[in-house]
Structures are given as structure tokens and as C-alpha cells.
Amino acid sequence: MKNTIFNIMVAACALMLASCVNDLDVYPKTTPPAKDVYTSVENYNAVLAKCYASFVIAGQELGGGNADLSSNSGYDYMRCYINMQEVPTEECAYTWIESNKMTGLTYMSWDADDAWVADTYYRIYYTISLCNEFLRNASDEALSRFSDEEQQTLRRYRAEARFLRALAYYHAMDLYGNIPFVTEKDTVGTYTPPRHTRAQIFEYIESELTTIEEELSEPSACEYGRASQGAAWALLARMYLNAEVYTSTPRYTDCITYCNKIIGAGYSLEPDYAKLFNADNDKRTNEIIFPLVVDSRYTVSWGATTYIVCGLAGDNDSTQNPSDYGVTSGWGMFRVRGELPMKFGYTEGTVSVPDKRAMFHTDGQSLMFSSSLDDKKNGYFATKWSNLKDDGTQASNTASYGVDTDFPMFRLADVYLMLAESVVRGGTGATTDEALGYVNLVRQRAYGDNSGDITADEMTVDFFLDERARELYWECVRRTDLIRFGKFTSDAYVWQWKGNSIDGRGVDSKYNLYPIPSTEISANPNLYNENY
């Protein structure tokens, strides 16, 4: 079931040979010409698969060979996005700081020439360019030559491409703020994209998602790995949750509205939290609303979830056995800063806590950092991600082909927490009792009973920042959450080595946004960075 969408990747690669350079008006080149590619529903499906795959692979060959575009690191969209969302926060302590050019992200000191800031930017816009090219060839006029039944299928594909583009634009807006804007309606080759404000991009994404809502498949009828109505609702909910950051106007009632749509669609919590992050997590369609599919046969890269699973598995300098997590060999460069385990109740020497989400390897590791972040004995390993199947066997040879674990971009527990936080922040459309009930459903799974239940008085705004860390750590939401709470750059909340201080310190508020890369500023006179 999980591999269906990527069974057509070979066809997609044969149809499209993509390249990209820094200016954003360059679009994927096709051989043969586009008029010979977009001739059948099957070919449209193959090209759309490339749009999906662009989130998790970097090229047409094993590990990113025959690269889609030239970059500093050569890695895929999700490896870049993981770094941007996790590395600056307390959820990550990075060992390979110097060798992987991670100093800027680790210590919140990046600039417009930072390698990862640039790679993430160009990866996002490469995906946008793929979607734009697909949509140029999926206009009503282009589809009119197909039968009515085929047109219905192709209109759904078109809606999926618009969703993927909206997701990429959301990431760009969240990370970079005011950004260049280009769609399929703009001329290729001579067009210089204008700079749109965050508020304009927000309005555009909102319009796109609400327009395509009815054209996407219903959640119960959607093929695994494809975008359903639930995916669009979840992206809208997440965007509305953070709307005050993006537009200065809170939209908590709208967040609740779309959370309720998801809840009403029949999703349910997966009873076993750990199974959401193993190699059989494609079976968790009850909770996972939209995944990025990773497969060791069709989407092999050293990024995406391979980066997470292998990076969080200890190397030979630790007492951790990588095979316990389905990893042939651990890379050992990821650990967590002590503030994360402390949210579960860990202190130095604690072996276990009642919250089953607290999945850490502690043996031989100190909770807090007594020295630099690259001291491998400091910091626990997070072990919630694995390459094991439900039966405990290793799913794939990670040394050669990466992992088989999908990345859940949106899932129900997050929706429950978004709704409840929005209620506490003053949104309407759900009661306090309903919000509390959803929070306690999440916590009852974590504790195995109601011993972890909280009361309405305990369900404060600040509670959600910690609860979201407990539920969603290493799922690429932490930076965004910290910014929403005003605690990413400020001294209102510090963690070890924040701001390149062992005790942590606040940094300049400009670091709430990443800068547009200097190469792009030079290429497009419409662009500029505030404060950089």
C-alpha cells in the first residue's frame, strides 16, 4: 500500500530530467518536450509523483545522484527542513557542528551566506517550480482534450499539485517571511518574481487551500501518501494557529473550525505511540493525516527520515545498539539538550518516567551539558524513530538503501492540541470541556491510563508549549511553536547553548526569521532582507 505512489517513480524519471539554477524563473526542463509528456493520465500521474518525491529525494539516483539542482550540501528538502526547524532548539544537540557547517543553526548566529539557509530556500523553490510546471500543463484548456472521466481524475491531480505548492509556500513563509512569489501563470525565462509580504503569502495559501478543498479526495477514499481534504484542513489549521505571527491578526476560531473538520472525518489516535514512527507506520492511517512517503526501493536518500533514524542512533562512542532501532550503523550526531527530557520529569540519573513518549537512551550519557555540544557523552539520544517493522525486524539495510519509515507531516494528536490551545487562547467553536477531553486523550495514550490527566485549571497557554514538545518532538514543529509563544529568540526561555552560551541566553529577535540567501538577493532586485 505505501509504495503505490512511488511505483511510478521510474516512469517519472524517464519523463522528466530536471535542473535548476538560482533564479526562480528557471523551471524543470523536460525531455522530450512537454507537449509529448502530458499526453495521458498515466504521464500526468508520473510527473505529479516527482512533485511529491521532491520533498524526500535530492536526485534521480541512489542517495541523491544525478542531482535535481546544485547545492551546498546536495541533500534533500526534508534534511534541510529538519535542520532549520530542530537544530536551533532544545530538541537537538548536533555533534557534527563544524564538519556539517552547522555552527550558525546550532548557536542562532546564521547570516545570509549560511549554507543550510540557502539550501533550504532553493529546495523549497525547486518544489514550487515543479508544481508550477505541472500546473502550466493542467489548465482547463489543456485538460479539455481528455474524456470527462479522465478530466475528473486530472482535476484531482491538479488539486494535489496546488496543495503541494501551498505546503512549500507555507514553509517558505514560515521560515523566511517576505518572499518571492511565482505561479504557473507567470512567464518562464524572463520573469523576475516580486517580493510578497508574509500577509500576502498567507492570503494566497488560504485562498488556494479553500479553493481546492472540494476537489481533493475525501480522507476515507484517498490513496495512502497522497493529499486528501484532511491534508488541506490540517495545513489550514496549522497556519491559522500561527496567524498572529504571520499577519498580526489572531485566527484561533478558524483553527478550531478546521480541526473540527478533521476530527469529524473519522480519524482516531493510534493506541501505540511508538508505531507512529516505525517502518510500518504506513498502517497508521487512522491517525496520520498526510505523510511524506519514504521507501528504500524508490526514494533512497541520506536525508528525510533516514537522517532522523540514523542520526539519532548512537555510533561506536555510545553504549546504544543501533540494531535495536533497525539501523545497520548509527551516525550518532543527534542528541537532545537536557531541557527536553526534563519536560518529562527526568533529572540526572533518572532511568525511566511514566510517560511512554519519553523515549531516550540514557546509559553512558549525561542529561545536561558540562562542556561543548560536540562532547558525545553529553545529552540523551531520542529513540522514538526507528526502522523496525511491527514484528521487530529491520525493514531495510540503512547502510545501502536508507529507511522505510515515513514522515507524518500532519497527524491527529497535533490537531487535538491545536484545537485545545486555540480554545484556551480565546477561539470559539469548541468548549473548554471538549478541549480538555482531547488533551487527556493524548495523555491517556502516553500514560496508558488516566493517571496523567490534567484539569481545566492546569490547561494554560504555557502548558501547551511543553505538551507539544512531549508529543511532537523531532517532528519539525518546535521552532514554529517557540516563535508563537515568544520564546525562540527571547530570554523568556533559554536552553543550554542557546546563543552560544552554555547556560543559554536570548538572541536578537531578527533570528525569528531566516534571511533570503545573498545569492538570491543579488539575482533579484525586488528582494531584500530586513536586519541582515
* Tens-place pLDDT, residues 279-307: 999 999 999 999 999 999 888 889 999 99
Q: How far is CA 24 from CA 171, 284, 330, 514, in A?
A: 16, 37, 37, 18
Name the DSSP class of 482. Answer: H
Look at residue 60 and tell me whether its pLDDT is greater than 70.
Answer: yes
Q: How far apart are the first and last CA of the chain?
A: 47
Percentage of the chain beyond pLDDT 90 is 85
**Dist. CA 64–CA 302, nearest whole Å:** 8
Residue with cell 546550532: 106
Average pLDDT over residues 78-92: 98
- Cβ neighbors of 242 (< 8 A, separation 6 or more) are 174, 480, 483, 484
For residues 193-210, one letter each, b for 16 or more C-beta atoms within 10 angstroms of the residue's C-beta and e for the rest, the string is beebebebbbebbbebbe
Q: Which CATH class is domain 4-215+515-523?
A: mainly alpha
The three cell numbers locating residue 138: 493542467
What 3-state DSSP class applies to 3?
Answer: coil
Lowest-pLDDT range, 62-66, 290-294, 409-413?
Answer: 62-66
Q: How many CB atoms lie within 10 A of CB 132?
A: 23
Query: Residue 192: which pLDDT band, with cuts at 50, 70 and 90?
Result: very high
| Residue 24, pLDDT score | 44
The three cell numbers locating residue 1: 500500500
The three cell numbers locating residue 263: 476530527
Dump pLDDT digits (tens) for 96-114. 998 899 999 999 999 999 9
The H-or-E segment that residue 1 falls in is none
Dump pLDDT digits (tens) for 389-406. 999 999 999 998 999 999
The H-or-E segment that residue 88 falls in is none
- Cβ neighbors of 482 (< 8 A, separation 6 or more) are 89, 465, 488, 493
The alpha-carbon radius of gyration of the chain (Å, integer) is 22
Q: How many CB atoms lie within 10 A of CB 435?
A: 23
